[in-house]
Amino acid sequence: MFIDFEGIDGSGKTTLSNLLAARLKRLGYRVAHAREGGELQAPAARRVRELTRDSRLLEMSPRTEFFLNLARDAQQLDEVVAPALRRGEVCITDRYLYSQLALSGGGRGLPMSELLPACELASQGLWPDLVVLVDVDPDLARWRKRLGKLQSARVSDGDSRKGLAGAGLAVRVRESFLEMARKDPQRWLILENNDVPLRVLEQRLVDAVVARLEGREVPVQRIVPAPAALPSGATTVENAEERFFQALDSVEVREPALAAWMVGGLPGPSAHQRRLAYMERFPALTARGLGGLDDDAAWTLRDVLAPVAPAEVATSLGGLTGPRAMMLRERLYAQAPVEVLAGLKGDSSPQAWALRERGMRDGRLADVLSGLAGVDGDESWVVREAGMQRKLYADVARSLGGLTTGRADALREVLLAHDRLAVLRSTTGVSTPVARGLREALAGKALKLVLRSLTGLTTEEAWALREKGAPLTKEALDSVDGLDDSRAWQLRVAHLGRWPSTVVSSLKGLPLGPHARTLIDRVLEENPGRLPVLRNAYAVIATARYAVTHTRAPRPEAEVSPQLALQG
């Protein structure tokens, strides 16, 4: 029997496919997993995969990507799948040709009618007997994927080629998978992985697969666990805190690390109490989740966690200035120099330069450069010149973040030949000739980074790119975070159905005026119980309320007609 697992990145298909393989072996079946432990078993296929993930290959077309992915699957078929089936084993794959149809057709927009014949050729007529689609809310999948990277220490500012397209790619791929499942219900089994403990999903999956192996029919296509009972009454701005923490407590039972991660960055006593509850089990996640928090409770927790999670505490200081932050950085430098130096962005104080000089003496030029963004002046340019001499091109590019001077643009032009993506990242909030030219050149190749680079910009060029990109991916809405501009409000309202979680998060930093309240209430009404939406709504509400208690005169919202927030 040939069983294939499909799903978007972060859906849990790799975990579940390996759990199934292990359970079937314990039940006495002979099993081959073509991607056991998450690694492709055919060496040639692994090499091809590296090529298709390489974000430096910006000119690779969707068609070329498709044929490379076909080659990868054909090699897995020839070297692993077909031999296992000939031996009479149950063969499990984690992705097969359906992934190429969903990515290239649904995700990239190539015609399915042209892709199908090529897939038939690559398959040699061999298609799975059962396809398990692990279906998940794409927003929740992103949270899980990011958590997985943190826990496996795979944190970087890099992106795969798929990542460069933006989060909308996963949404389109998911929709394509669901459409394929709808058209072939006898072959496809849909397993929802949103709010049920993994052990329950595993058992339901094993039962369904064993039924197929024994020749018994599975009566339904979609394995739908019993839904969690939603609280009675609508969720609104007024009760969002209560509803979010009810949902979070439910998450904590089945995915405690995810709960600890999701409370990160949230101000207020309720969030602080949760952090105190999580800190012993998840000190690193709790410490990293203090990022952006500047209240006494957060500082006390940093002091407590510094000995056990120094790197994460240092990371949480990013963007914070003042004597308290600097004293803690000096204390943490010996244990976490990389994170301490990276957290000095925008800081040109004598204390910051003292730490940078210490880093230079310790031979940490690359780390010093990574924390030099937003800093101008002769000293900073001496460091950048040293970086150029050492060919630390990506690090030098990062050091230019936020700089709008002619000197910065001149260096960006030099660096384009070495690392275009690093240069693009350095243009966030910048509207210079080089920045505008780079956005125009890379909008079709790295849409996610282009849109994120617009953060804070209100130029005509920025609005045109946002309006063009918003139907494709959520990063267009990310780029209006905190913007109180009539065109920002129009963009939010126009796309709240497609990107509800991001529309809400883009309000962070704004006062809870009538337009913000109406928008949040509408999104909550249309997405009851959806955890990422609840989390982002509470983050906006809690941040706004915290700001009111610390400032006397919150700024008014932009002049927008009362009807705007009700349109859609």
Task: In whole angstroms, give the CA distance from residue 141 to residue 530.
Answer: 13
The single-letter DSSP state of residue 348 is -
Query: Over 60: is that where the pLDDT of 156 sits?
Result: no
* pLDDT classification of 226: cutoffs 50, 70, 90: low
Domain count, the chain: 1
Inside any domain, residue 504: no
CATH number for the domain spanning 52: value is: 3.40.50.300
Task: In whole angstroms, give the CA distance from residue 106 to residue 127.
Answer: 20
* pLDDT classification of 561: cutoffs 50, 70, 90: very low
* Displacement of CA 365 from its chain's centroid (Å): 29
Q: What is the pLDDT of residue 567?
A: 40
Inside any domain, residue 49: yes
The Cα-based distances of 287 to 154, 155, 172, 266 in angstroms read: 17, 15, 35, 13
Q: What is the pLDDT of residue 546?
A: 84
Task: In whole angstroms, give the CA distance from residue 359 to residue 371.
Answer: 11
Inside any domain, residue 26: yes
| pLDDT, tens digit, 9 for 90 and up, residues 346-384 | 999 999 999 999 999 999 999 999 999 999 999 999 999
Between these two residues, 563 and 309, which has the higher pLDDT value? Answer: 309
Query: Over 50: is that where the pLDDT of 560 sits?
Result: no
The CA-based dihedral angle spanning residues 260, 262, 266, 271, taken in that order and rounded to the nearest 10 degrees: -40
Inside any domain, residue 86: yes
- 32 and 80 in contact (C-beta within 8 Å)? yes
| pLDDT, tens digit, 9 for 90 and up, residues 386-402 | 999 999 999 999 999 99
* pLDDT classification of 227: cutoffs 50, 70, 90: low
* pLDDT classification of 486: cutoffs 50, 70, 90: very high
Q: Which of 126-130, 201-205, 554-558 has the lowest mean pLDDT?
A: 554-558
| pLDDT, tens digit, 9 for 90 and up, residues 318-333 | 999 889 999 999 999 9
Q: What is the pLDDT of residue 426?
A: 97
Q: Which of 29-43, 164-178, 224-238, 469-483 has the lowest mean pLDDT?
A: 224-238
* pLDDT classification of 217: cutoffs 50, 70, 90: confident
pTM of the predicted model, to two decimals? 0.91
How high does pLDDT run on average in the chain?
A: 92
| pLDDT, tens digit, 9 for 90 and up, residues 506-534 | 999 999 999 999 999 999 999 988 999 99
Alpha helix ranges (H) inside 95-154: 97-100, 112-123, 138-151
Contacts of 176 (CB under 8 A, 6+ apart): 101, 102, 105, 106, 107
Count of CB atoms within 10 A of residue 232's CB? 5
Helix (H) or strand (E) segment spanning residue 192: strand 188-192
Query: Over 50: is that where the pLDDT of 257 sits?
Result: yes
Contacts of 70 (CB under 8 A, 6+ apart): 97, 100, 118, 119, 122
| pLDDT, tens digit, 9 for 90 and up, residues 72-97 | 999 999 999 999 999 999 999 999 99
Q: Which of 51-60, 104-113, 283-292, 544-553 has the lowest mean pLDDT?
A: 544-553
| pLDDT, tens digit, 9 for 90 and up, residues 439-483 | 999 999 999 999 999 999 999 999 999 999 999 999 999 999 999
Percent of the chain residues past pLDDT 90, beyond the cut: 85
Task: In whole angstroms, give the CA distance from residue 519 to residue 499.
Answer: 13
Q: What is the pLDDT of residue 503?
A: 98
Q: Which of 183-187, 195-199, 250-254 has the lowest mean pLDDT?
A: 195-199
Inside any domain, residue 44: yes
Residue range(s) defining the domain that contains residue 100? 2-223
* pLDDT classification of 556: cutoffs 50, 70, 90: very low
